[in-house]
Structure 1
Amino acid sequence: MIRPVAFRMNEQTAVNNYFQEDLDIKNAEINTKAQAEFDTFVEKLRDVGVNVIVENDDLRMDTPDSIFPNNWISFHENGDIALYPMFAENRRRERREEVLIRLENEGFVIKDVYDYTPAEEEGFFLEGTGSILMDRVNRKAYCALSARADEELLIEFCEDFEYTPVIFTAYQNVDGNRMPIYHTNVMMCLGEEFCVICLDSIDDATERNNVLKHLKQDRKKVIAITESQMHHFAGNMLQVQGRDKKYLVMSADAHSSLTDQQIKMIEESCEILSSDLSTIETCGGGSARCMMAEVFLPKA
């Protein structure tokens, strides 16, 4: 997780992240609020035994979205990592070698690096585990295509990492129009035994049925959320391993948007851990899941 030093609404991402909103307060105050939310969130994770490695952002880089590291890198069980091409130019500066050095210093082994970033020069993007929902057990990669998720790049990733692509387009209402959702992980979350998903956002019935077919093949319990709940970031969740149990991590807003029945279905598999991320969600257009780049690298 990356602690922010210059968090604000990123004008370069707002063009197609329709979850972002402008707060009528100064950027310094926004950053202070975001830091407080970040610190409380990290403390809650550590309190239940989640191993959290916090790296500070670099003020010189002017990277307002650095708090969302899952978009530029992913870590894999065999020691491989992937570096991803980013839509916003100022987000490309988030890719920092010192983050990799920090992980190696923590005892993790990095073997090969798959670098997809040259695609930026051609105007093609694939923003990490924001764009790709990886079912690491069943080797499937769910991806909602958008300006930030290119189909050919996804297929290249799937060939390199031996995943089966599950491709669709998800939409949201924006000023009366159906517009592609910028990241898959705001409308869908994969747990070990379940999937939280906004099926209503997949307008094409064939694509929707194909997604459901794959989930049912893998015996995932489907927990459907509404588009309204999705806009409270109820799709932006991550299942993590704590000290002695698993948790589904989400924001307080996402948690409060869930129905009693949805909470019951989640709690059949794991506990819910939530934290207030309202400033980060409003200005950044991302939530709890986006803030965590899960590390599956082997230890030395």
Structure 2
Amino acid sequence: MASTIALQQAPNTVVMVRPHHFKSNPQTMADNKFQTLANNDNAKYNAYNEVTAAVNTLRSHGVCVQLFEDLLGNTPDSVFPNNWFTTHHNGMLIKYPMLAENRRLEYRQDIIDAISDRYSVTEHVDLRHYAEQELFLEGTGSIVFDHPNRLAYACQSRRTDTRLLQRVCQYLHYQPVVFDAFDNAGVPVYHTNVLMCVGTRFVMISMDMVAEADRDRLLQYFNLNRQQLIWLTEKQIQRFCGNAIELQGTEGALLALSQTAYNALTQQQKLKLEKFVKLVPLSIPTIESAGGSVRCMIAGVHYPE
């Protein structure tokens, strides 16, 4: 029986990883059209500083950031911890199977131990072995959770196996909402969280990229849950406008997004969002060359201490 306790969408505590050897990942380049090359010493230096500045900004707004260092040289995407684990209100911690072999090296027991020591983790679910069967599900890259409404949105791709999604939803007592989405060249969107951001009272999404057969169904969910729709263009998706996350600070809800995304939003879109959240842009152009943005950098902690 699913719990009747109201779930919060926006965490006030997050996990982030600061990279010391940042570079583009050749193993993810094939299906990540957002990715560009960045493999020099300047990229390492800039990515380190971008994470440092982002952490300081979030902390200045009252977000509790648990920051971990990545000193390894063989984990180019370590700055994106949201793909390999998620935390949940029911006390569960889930670890996920990732497509790229070098991304599986990002799993860190010290991070799991630190979370388990401080917060109320009651159950560990490890799905990583499914990678051996060529089945993948990449955390909150693949899944965009709507926690208050117990929904799990996911667009189908190589990185998002719907059978594993069903299993996660069974663990959490959530309903899966599976759909298709493509860019203007017909290439499937590689991660759901570059296409859409679900906040407590709003949804940012490019409905033009959603398969026509799935649009009405998604709109029905948004309307039923009384969420303001912020309709993004594909060009705005390419500028990472969908890759944002609602967080809880000391002065209320905020939306963490990149400076790139903030600059690409229209004034009307910003005004709509500011009815619900304070916009907090973070400058991370080097990190965005890896094909992810602010949402990918943040793993929310949904436990009480």
Output the TM-score relative to the length of structure 2.
0.93
Q: Which runs of 4+ in 1 moved over 3 A?
A: none
Residue 139 of structure 2 corresponds to 128
Selected match of 2:292 from 253, 262, 286: 286
| C-alpha contact (below 8 Å) 2:94/2:127 kept by paired residues | yes
Selected match of 2:205 from 197, 221, 234: 197
Paired amino acid for 1:182: Y
Deviation at 1:104, TM superposition (A): 3.2
Residue 158 of structure 1 corresponds to 169
Paired amino acid for 1:261: Q
Distance 1:102 1:57 in 2: 15
Deviation at 1:236, TM superposition (A): 0.3
SS in 2 for 1:143: strand
| C-alpha contact (below 8 Å) 1:84/1:125 kept by paired residues | yes
| C-alpha contact (below 8 Å) 2:90/2:172 kept by paired residues | no
| C-alpha contact (below 8 Å) 2:98/2:138 kept by paired residues | yes
Distance 1:102 1:115 in 2: 17
Residue 4 of structure 1 corresponds to 19
Residue 77 of structure 2 corresponds to 65
| C-alpha contact (below 8 Å) 2:239/2:260 kept by paired residues | yes
Distance 1:33 1:209 in 2: 42
Deviation at 1:14, TM superposition (A): 0.6
| C-alpha contact (below 8 Å) 1:146/1:182 kept by paired residues | yes
Q: Does 1:266 align with 2:265?
A: no
Distance 1:76 1:27 in 2: 37
Deviation at 1:27, TM superposition (A): 2.7
Deviation at 1:118, TM superposition (A): 1.3
Residue 11 of structure 2 corresponds to none
Selected match of 2:67 from 44, 54, 70: 54
| C-alpha contact (below 8 Å) 1:4/1:66 kept by paired residues | yes
Distance 2:107 2:71 in 1: 11
Give unpaired runs (5+ residues) of structure 2: 1-15
Paired amino acid for 1:18: K
Selected match of 2:112 from 79, 94, 100: 100
SS in 2 for 1:229: helix
Residue 42 of structure 2 corresponds to 29
Residue 218 of structure 1 corresponds to 225
Q: Does 1:232 align with 2:243?
A: no
Distance 2:129 2:116 in 1: 25
Paired amino acid for 1:198: S
Output the TM-score relative to the length of structure 1.
0.94
Tell me how many residue pairs correspond in the alignment.
290
Residue 12 of structure 2 corresponds to none
Distance 2:26 2:274 in 1: 38
| C-alpha contact (below 8 Å) 1:2/1:69 kept by paired residues | yes
| C-alpha contact (below 8 Å) 1:80/1:297 kept by paired residues | no
Deviation at 1:111, TM superposition (A): 1.4
| C-alpha contact (below 8 Å) 1:78/1:298 kept by paired residues | no
Q: Does 1:168 align with 2:179?
A: yes
